[in-house]
Structure 1
Amino acid sequence: MSNSSESPSFPLQEFLGFTTIHGQGTATASLELDARHHNPNAVAHGSVAFALMDTAMGAAAVSVIPDDHICATIEMHTRFHRGAAHGTLTAIAKVLTTGSRVIQLECKTTDADDRLVASSTASFAVLQPRTS
């Protein structure tokens, strides 16, 4: 697919309040930070950035696999560079390599001032869905 399109949502995405748009081998997920995303120090909890990047990379991975396949995160290495308390967080993911069984990706998350908040690399398994 060459044009960007909105990815289907799922309950965690809706609960956290972020949107995801994907293109061929890329995806962008973003959210407006508010108090529900904060840890006790009044900055976004690391799991929020982690979930944002995992979702962006999943959307990028789905864009390069056959329509009758699914993908799942099998490992993810995340680095947190700075805190963010308010404004928009944006995670941009891109596929690095695509194999028949594993996809390698990277993702960078920035704040509203385009400062690096977190970065990640991950491996996603390419799976055929189970039939009942």
Structure 2
Amino acid sequence: MSTVRGFTVPFIDHLGIEFVSYGQGRSHLRLTPRPEHNNAYDMAHGGVVMTLLDVTMAFAALEPEQPDMGAITVEMKTSFMRPSRGTLNGHGVVLQRTKKLVFIEASIIADDGEICAKASGTFVIKQRPAQA
């Protein structure tokens, strides 16, 4: 299992999401869907795309200097714009921070440079529990 920020998330690991970069209110994650991630139309299942968007936004909210903090999704809205095929790059950006909440947007961009899906979300930043 891969470890990011000193902890593992088995579901993220299972999907094969790669962490390219994060920090300063931005993030870049990557996923190359496998056949078992597809729906009946031979494109990435919406749940897989939403998970990539969710994790991309969460990592935009986090800072490398605070490895004991985690981002928890409060709400999320997703728009699917076209089929998600090939390697999918998630790019997230923080729009606004308050004392308790972070407002973020993310896009999924396919190999051809086209946007497949977009999301906006609200996250709360909390200290992570110790992982056994």
Which interval holds the TM-score relative to the shorter structure? 0.7 to 0.9
Gaps of 5+ in 1: 1-5
Alpha-carbon distance in 2 for matches of 1:19, 1:110 = 15
SS at match of 1:55: helix
1:92 aligns with 2:91: yes
Deviation track 1:85-123 (CA, whole Å, cap 9, x = no partner) reads 3x2100100111111100000001110001110000000
Kept in 1, the 8 Å contact 2:23–2:62? The answer is no
1:40 aligns with 2:28: no
C-alpha deviation, 1:29, in angstroms: 1.0
Gaps of 5+ in 2: none
Taking structure 1 as reference, are residues 35 and 74 closer, same or farther at Cα in structure 2, changes over 3 Å only?
same
Aligned partner letter, 1:51? T
SS at match of 2:96: strand
Kept in 2, the 8 Å contact 1:26–1:63? The answer is no
After the TM superposition, which parts of structure 1 deviate over 4 Å for at least 4 consecutive aligned residues?
64-68, 128-131
Alpha-carbon distance in 2 for matches of 1:65, 1:58 = 15
SS at match of 2:52: helix
C-alpha deviation, 1:33, in angstroms: 2.0
The alignment's TM-score, normalised by the length of structure 1, stands at: 0.84
Provide the residue aligned with 1:49 in structure 2: 49
Kept in 2, the 8 Å contact 1:37–1:48? The answer is yes
Q: What percent identity do the matched residue pairs reach?
A: 28
SS at match of 1:33: coil
SS at match of 2:28: strand
The alignment's TM-score, normalised by the length of structure 2, stands at: 0.84
SS at match of 1:48: helix
Alpha-carbon distance in 2 for matches of 1:89, 1:70 = 24
Alpha-carbon distance in 2 for matches of 1:129, 1:89 = 28
Provide the residue aligned with 1:3 in structure 2: none
Alpha-carbon distance in 1 for matches of 2:113, 2:62 = 26
Kept in 2, the 8 Å contact 1:7–1:22? The answer is no
